[in-house]
Amino acid sequence: MYTYGAHAVTSILRKNEFNKEFTSGSVKSYDSNQLASNDPIEDTRSEAICTLSPGILLAVFDGHGGPACAQVLSKRLFHYIAANLLPLETLDAFIKDDARKELIEAFNDRSDIVGDLKAIYDDSFKKYANKLLQEAINPLQVPEALERAILNLDGPHLYVANIGDCNAVLGALTEENDWHAKKLTKEHNTENLAELKRIWSEHPESEKKTVIKRDRLLGELAPLRSLGDYRYKWPVDILNKVAVPMLGERAIPQNYYTPPYLSAKPDVYYHRLTTKDKFLILASDGLWDMITPYQAVKLVGEHMQGKMFFNPLKLPRKNIPLSDINDLLLHRKERLKSKPKDRNAATHLLRHAVGGTEYGVDHSKLAHLLSLTPDVSRMFRDDITITVVYFDTEYLRQCPA
């Protein structure tokens, strides 16, 4: 059996890492990374700023049954959200401008949509933008327009929209200087009783034993809400006409009587950021299958405190005595024992999630799991995608209560 050495392990873990720093606003920086288990990886991630309104957008997309849907979402969804954040007059000017600029500026964007699909998606988005403008003018749509308007993602306001089984966890420092993990989201799976009750209520009593089977929707799908997955949404006649000729009879799940069975409606959570809130961890369930929210927060918190040792030593003042410099160097040498191996916090989480034990990271375990081929690797773990977002404490301190 072949396993990787320490250098190879680190190269694999750091292959997809990325960091972005900001000069203003509530978000100081973010670290992101991905580790594949499937080939190709089914997860995607996306980060961007809005160009015509304030706001930073960050997302993790956990794909299944292939990477296509998650990839399309990572390219398209932010444009739709950014359009919703525009004031009416700005939206109107944007629609009328033939040479309109992009609504978002994406970071670490490594792929593009092929030509034919791009034209279709652009046309679809133009229709959506026009629809937004028409609905916003209609007095009957005022509540919805107000809801869109307050989703201003900059400043102390944090909104998290969740569909499926990814999670967002907030890392905060208590008055006693201990780390506290606040899970902001709830998974849409069979462990969520409220979600089960919702699905049962939407279908006849006669389907109660078949709509959820083997802890899956219709015995097939683990997440109970998702984007895409038309096989659980479209009427039977459309599936017969469109899907069956391509996929065969398996295109229609067993016990498919009263569609739709699947919703793409997100649960939206709001949190008002305070100076105690230090970072947010967004991650696909591949991470949460391996470590708890508290373990993740503690790891990132310790990483924050140890990361300072990546920077050169700065003397606190001029003309400092040599004896004081010596004391500083001795103190720094002792504290260097806590210096993390990785500068990127998402990579730090990956290393501990995959190779962690109660005594720390076990290199042999980490190397073995990373050396597995995709068909075997999927027996041990899922794709993992992580974004760690750091908040600017001083900026939040100056925000009005």
For the segment 267-290, the average pLDDT, to the nearest whole number, is 96
What pLDDT was estimated at residue 151? 44
What pLDDT was estimated at residue 336? 66
Proportion of the chain above pLDDT 70, given as a percent:
91
**75-81 CB contacts, 8 Å cutoff, 24+ apart:** 75/46, 75/111, 75/112, 75/113, 75/121, 76/121, 76/125, 77/46, 78/46, 78/48, 78/103, 78/104, 78/106, 79/103, 79/104, 79/125, 80/125, 80/128, 81/57, 81/151
The residue behind tokens 């959200």 is: 81
Does residue 135 carry a pLDDT above 90?
Answer: no
Does residue 127 carry a pLDDT above 90?
Answer: yes
Confidence band of 401 (pLDDT split at 50, 70, 90): low
What pLDDT was estimated at residue 60? 97
What pLDDT was estimated at residue 223? 97
Confidence band of 140 (pLDDT split at 50, 70, 90): very low
For 250, the token pair is: 């398996």
What pLDDT was estimated at residue 137? 63
For the segment 251-272, the average pLDDT, to the nearest whole number, is 95
Q: Greater confidence, 138 or 202? A: 202
The residue behind tokens 């990839």 is: 71
Q: Greater confidence, 213 or 102? A: 213
For the segment 272-286, the average pLDDT, to the nearest whole number, is 97
For the segment 218-228, the average pLDDT, to the nearest whole number, is 96
19/14 Cα distance (integer angstroms): 11
| CA distances, 198 to each of 186, 230, 259, 268 (Å) | 14, 20, 14, 17
Average predicted confidence (pLDDT) for the chain: 90
SS3 per residue for the chain: CCCCCHHHHHHHHHCCCEEEECCCCCEEEEEEEEECCCCCCCEEEEEEEECCCCCEEEEEEECCCCCHHHHHHHHHHHHHHHHHCCCHHHHHHHHHCCCCCCCEEEECCCCCCCHHHHHHHHHHHHHHHHHHHHHHHCHHHHHHHHHHHHCCCCCCEEEEEECCCCEEEEEEECCCCCEEEEECCCCCCCCCHHHHHHHHHCCCHHHHHHHEECCEECCCECCCECCCCHHHCCCHHHHHHHHHHHHCHHHCCCCCCCCCCCECCCEEEEEECCCCEEEEEEECHHHHCCCCHHHHHHHHHHHHHHHHHHCCCCCCCCCCCHHHHHHHHHHHHHHHHHCCCCCCHHHHHHHHHHHEECCEECHHHHHHHHCCCHHHHCCCCCCEEEEEEEECHHHHHHCCC
What pLDDT was estimated at residue 259? 98
Identity of residue 193 = L
For the segment 354-360, the average pLDDT, to the nearest whole number, is 92
Model confidence pLDDT, tens digit, residues 374-395: 999 999 999 999 999 999 999 9
Model confidence pLDDT, tens digit, residues 17-32: 999 999 999 999 999 9
Confidence band of 172 (pLDDT split at 50, 70, 90): very high
Q: What's the CATH fold of domain 6-188+264-398? A: Phosphatase 2c; domain 1 (3.60.40)
For the segment 161-181, the average pLDDT, to the nearest whole number, is 96
What pLDDT was estimated at residue 195? 97
What pLDDT was estimated at residue 153? 40
Segments making up each domain of the chain, as ranges: 6-188+264-398, 193-224+229-251
What pLDDT was estimated at residue 145? 47
Partner residues linked to 181 by β-bridges: 171
149/143 Cα distance (integer angstroms): 10
Model confidence pLDDT, tens digit, residues 29-63: 999 999 999 999 999 999 999 999 888 999 999 99
Does residue 271 carry a pLDDT above 90?
Answer: yes
For 1, the token pair is: 């059996």
Does residue 146 carry a pLDDT above 50?
Answer: no
Does residue 346 carry a pLDDT above 90?
Answer: yes
Q: Is the four-CA dihedral 143, 144, 149, 150 of positive or negative sign?
A: positive
Does residue 80 carry a pLDDT above 60?
Answer: yes
What pLDDT was estimated at residue 154? 46
Proportion of the chain above pLDDT 90, given as a percent:
72
275/111 Cα distance (integer angstroms): 36
For the segment 166-195, the average pLDDT, to the nearest whole number, is 97
For 269, the token pair is: 């959570």
What pLDDT was estimated at residue 2? 60
Nearest to 172 by CA among 273, 269, 290: 273
If phi over 0 gives left and psi between -120 and 50 gives alpha, with beta otherwise, what is residue 219?
left
